[in-house]
Structures are given as structure tokens and as C-alpha cells.
């Protein structure tokens, strides 16, 4: 009987984490979309030089990696919740 209580408590903790990771995915995803739009706008309205293109490309790449990392963490928590519910 005690194992069920521990599993229920852990499931409640995972639900809290899922909501937090979902919030993080939305925040980082909107930051990524905004960065892509701003990079495109800056490149359209300013003079192109190699240094600024590299810097903006690296910034876009880092934010994209952050977005995918956050998304993967969210999916891991969702799959853990599914596993725990099936036990």
C-alpha cells in the first residue's frame, strides 16, 4: 500500500515538472521565433558584412539548441508520466 502512495506522490511531482517544462518550451520557442524574425529584419535593412552574419547565425544556433533541449526534457517528463500511470 505504501508503494502506491509513493508512486502517486511522484506522479504529482512529475505533473508539476511537466507544467514547468511546458512553460519553458513556450518561452524559449517564442524567443527563438523572435530571434529568427529579428535576424531576418536586421539582414534586410542593414549592410551585410561577414562578421555580423556569423554572430547572428551563432546566436540563432544557440537559441535553437536551447529550444530543442527544453523540448526534449518536456518529452522525457511526459513519457515518464505515461510509464508511471501504466505501472
Residue 55 makes CB contacts below 8 A (sequence gap 6+) with none
Instruction: Quote the CA–CA distance of 68 and 78 in Å, as a whole number.
Output: 15
Q: What pLDDT, on a 0 to 100 scale, did the predictor assign at position 1? A: 52
pLDDT (tens digit per residue) in 16-56: 999 999 999 999 999 999 999 998 888 888 887 888 888 88
pLDDT exceeds cutoff 80 at 4 = no
Q: What pLDDT, on a 0 to 100 scale, did the predictor assign at position 70? A: 95
Exposure string of 27-61, with b = 16+ CB inside 10 Å and e = fewer, is ebbeebeebeeebeeeeeeeeeeeeeeeebeeebe
Average pLDDT, the chain: 90
Amino acid at each position: 500500500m505504501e508503494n502506491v502512495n509513493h508512486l502517486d506522490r511522484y506522479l504529482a511531482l512529475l505533473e508539476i515538472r511537466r507544467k514547468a517544462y511546458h512553460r519553458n518550451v513556450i518561452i524559449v520557442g517564442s524567443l527563438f521565433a523572435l530571434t529568427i524574425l529579428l535576424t531576418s529584419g536586421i539582414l534586410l535593412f542593414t549592410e551585410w558584412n561577414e562578421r555580423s552574419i556569423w554572430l547572428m547565425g551563432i546566436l540563432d544556433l544557440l537559441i535553437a539548441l536551447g529550444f530543442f533541449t527544453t523540448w526534449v526534457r518536456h518529452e522525457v517528463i511526459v513519457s515518464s508520466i505515461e510509464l508511471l500511470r501504466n505501472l
